[in-house]
Amino acid sequence: MGLNDIKDRIAEAERLAERPAGAVQLIAVSKVQPNARVEAVLREGHRLFGENYVQEAQGKWPDWRAAYPGCKVHMIGPLQSNKAKLACELFDAIHTLDRASLARKLANQAQAQGRCPALFVQVNTGREPQKAGVLPEDLDGFLTQARGMDLPVEGLMCIPPEAEDAAPHFEALAQMAGRNGLAGLSMGMSSDFEAAIAAGATHIRVGSAIFGARDYGTA
Ligand SMILES: *Cc1c(COP(=O)(O)O)cnc(C)c1O
């Protein structure tokens, strides 16, 4: 695996789905990866990355943004409300808007900072109790609320249950986005991004297939 293999597979999946070349944006998920691996991908010219932890992103990306112009960094991990300010400063997009209290914090920050990252609402398509995300039946109401706060909601995001076929979850998310007039669909990871592209993903989040396995360490 590696960046070029993944790009080839994306192009092939776009072709099979009869979607235009370049319809899908590849978010290279660099969380927990050694700096050398991320820098290798930066040197290959890739500029769109995903991070899960605000603190980790804060430690790495200001320098890399300066060294490699044009970088975009998307927050794809759960966001605590007390990190909303920092997240608005650090990220170009946040894929994990999942509750009204966070929406309010982000709206306040948008006011204060005069800008707001692009937002994706996370949907708990598998209705898993331990997983974040708005429940499907609450989504339309939540979107009305978020739009009432002038938040720039551009799409939906999901993480299907690990033990299930992901395709029906991707298709359900695409339907929810369609009926709400949202163009963005953040779905698909290393193991299932081709199915996500077939279902209409606009943003896929691929980590280990580009960088190798994450080592969370044992210490
Ligand atoms: C870590 C992570 C990914 C990337 O996972 P891989 O299986 O390494 O591709 C994608 N999306 C989210 C939300 C993640 O937390």
Total domain count for the chain? 1
Domain, as residue range, for 62: 3-212
Atom number of ligand 1 nearest to Cα 157: 13
**CATH (domain of 27):** 3.20.20.10
With respect to residue 107, please indicate whether it lies within any of the assigned structural domains: yes
Could you report the per-residue pLDDT of 76-89, keeping only the tens digit for each? 999 999 999 999 99
Structure-derived torsion over alpha carbons of residues 89, 53, 75, 120, reported in degrees to the nearest 10: -110
What is the residue whose two structure tokens read 């998307």? 74
Could you report the per-residue pLDDT of 1-54, keeping only the tens digit for each? 799 999 999 999 999 999 999 999 999 999 999 999 999 999 999 999 999 999
CA of 195 to the centre of ligand 1 (A): 15
Q: State whether the beta carbon of 133 lies less than 6 angstroms from ligand 1.
A: no
DSSP H or E run through 193: helix 193-198
**Average pLDDT, stretch 105-131?**
97
With respect to residue 217, please indicate whether it lies within any of the assigned structural domains: no
Mutate to test the pocket of ligand 1, among 38, 76, 94, 162 (most ligand atoms within 8 A of CB): 76
With respect to residue 94, please indicate whether it lies within any of the assigned structural domains: yes
With respect to residue 219, please indicate whether it lies within any of the assigned structural domains: no
Could you report the per-residue pLDDT of 133-164, keeping only the tens digit for each? 999 999 999 999 999 999 999 999 999 999 99
